[in-house]
Chains A and B, each alone.
Chain A
Amino acid sequence: MSNLRYIILLLFIFLFNHSVHSHHAFTAEFDANAPINITGKVVKVEWINPHAWVHVEVKQDSKKTIWMVEGGTPNTLIRNGLTKNSVKPGTVINVRGYQSKGKLCLPRCIANGRDITFPDGRKVFMGSSGTGAPRDGSDPRER
């Protein structure tokens, strides 16, 4: 019978582990009720694992705000048709996504990117599938 107690203990470890895993990156850090739609000039690209970051400078009236937009891994982005060179600094892009839970924008605003639209109208999905982000149609593979 004492073996049963250990099996229950092990189950607990696995259950806890599961709850950590289902705590998706999206809901832990971003607000599904705060969609953003920004247009601006790329000022910096961090083409890095496990998430790339595109820094976009948004001008509103005379105020400049830097948005740090999170994308998928370099691998996912290349599969989606986005390379380090297609978002070179200076490129003007429109980004749709969701803002982080913290909204103070100090020193920068942070968002999870869903898709990028280029001036020629080309649209690229920049997130990762299955992260728990809202199903807003920006991910072409999502059903």
Chain B
Amino acid sequence: MSEPILVAENLTKWFPVKRNLTQVMKGNRTWVRAVDRISFTINKGEIFGLVGESGCGKTTTGKLIMKLLEITDGTLEMKGENATHLRGAALEKYRREVQMIFQDPYSSMNPRFTVRDVLMEPLEIHKVGKDAKEREVWVREILDEVKLSPPDEFLVRHPHMLSGGQRQRAATARTLMLSPSIIVADEPVSMIDLSTRAEILHMMRQLQREMGLTYVYITHDLSTARYFTDRLAVMYLGKIIEMGVAGSVIDRTLHPYTKALIAAVCEPVSGKVNRIKDVPIKGEIPAATNIPPGCRFHPRCLYAVEECWQEEEPTLDDIGGGHLVACRRWAEIERLGAAARTSEASLGTRKSSFAPSA
């Protein structure tokens, strides 16, 4: 199962910020460092999760994988072939292999199309199948696959005649039309009701097993990520700061940021009403134009010491068992343990001059 299908090395995406005339004259350039040199390997047949808060670069990473955005720096390899910059026929071939499910099933489908049109379109664009008849047979098969049956009833419907769950099924069907090997799913269930959310995830997982698909699952919801993914990468300000097997990342969290994220998650357990949650983090997320020096998490970290902002950014290192973490002090922090966690605030001497611009 550990055959790599997608390898990203130092993948980077910087967006230029619009400048006014003075800035142009002075030659000042600022960049939004949306994705900042991240490396990961996705294995064939696995569900790889990208989690983080909004603005951490997880969707941008998804779009880079989809090749909807041009890669600024770094390389992307798919099935052993370089896919960093593709054009024309090569891009078309790549897109057949990699498909995407979007977050909002309401705006990702043309309202004037029927489900038949929606599903036929990719086949027509890529000139797959010899005629409309053959294509229609496939469309029906896929509709059955995503449990939109009987197909006859759904083929003629427009998106507004479908419920949220049915739309997301149709969106999944659309990605399957070209039998891709990788599907990038960007928050596929965040806009769907809880009662049907599990049903969609269940269907996606079944398809994955039957067809040997690989998913990149992008979400901000750690609980569904734990349930759905095999491996998980946690992103902060354009960087992967922790990565590993989903259960291990969540139950044996090493990075202080991941710890804060996990502490903040609500759980359906009684007896928490009158308790104030202790979320071990301070401040707000800085702008991606103004990334702090050293470890980019240090201004918000309760454990930060001088070397965290004086020295270079920590690298994402394997600490065993395929668990990677980008923190200098993870071992110390783990030793300090949960008991001391609350009184930890005093441990970090806070003299960093970095002030996030508002």
A binds B: no
